[in-house]
Amino acid sequence: MALEITDSSFQDTVLKSDKPVLVDFWAVWCGPCRTLGPIIEEVASDFEGKAVVGKVDVDNNQEISMQYGIRNIPTVLIFKNGEVVDKLVGVTPKEVIAEKLSAHL
């Protein structure tokens, strides 16, 4: 299951992770985000133990959303060693997300 990442947990969960981290920036009211949600959950299950998969609610965590310039949601960022190494905007097929994340394992 995807982790709920907050402004306060972002540093430890994402930036200090020794594994690649996929972060889905989303909001409850966002239709495309609700479409992407189950896909992110599947990716979280598929990559369990190999990568960290989490979600940031942009309404409740505006600090981190602003820091990374999130203007459109859903936006998926992939971090490795605390740096953004890939970005996907909009609803993306599971295969594409898995391929992008696999490239950073």
Q: Which residues are catalytic?
A: 30, 33
Contact between 94 and 9 under an 8 Å Cβ cutoff? The reply is: no
Other CB atoms within a 10 A radius of the CB of residue 21 amount to: 26
Q: Over 70-92, what HEC string results?
A: CCCCCEEEEEECCEEEEEEECCC
Nearest to 81 by CA among 40, 4, 21, 23: 21
Distances (CA, A) of 17 to 11, 22, 48: 9, 11, 14
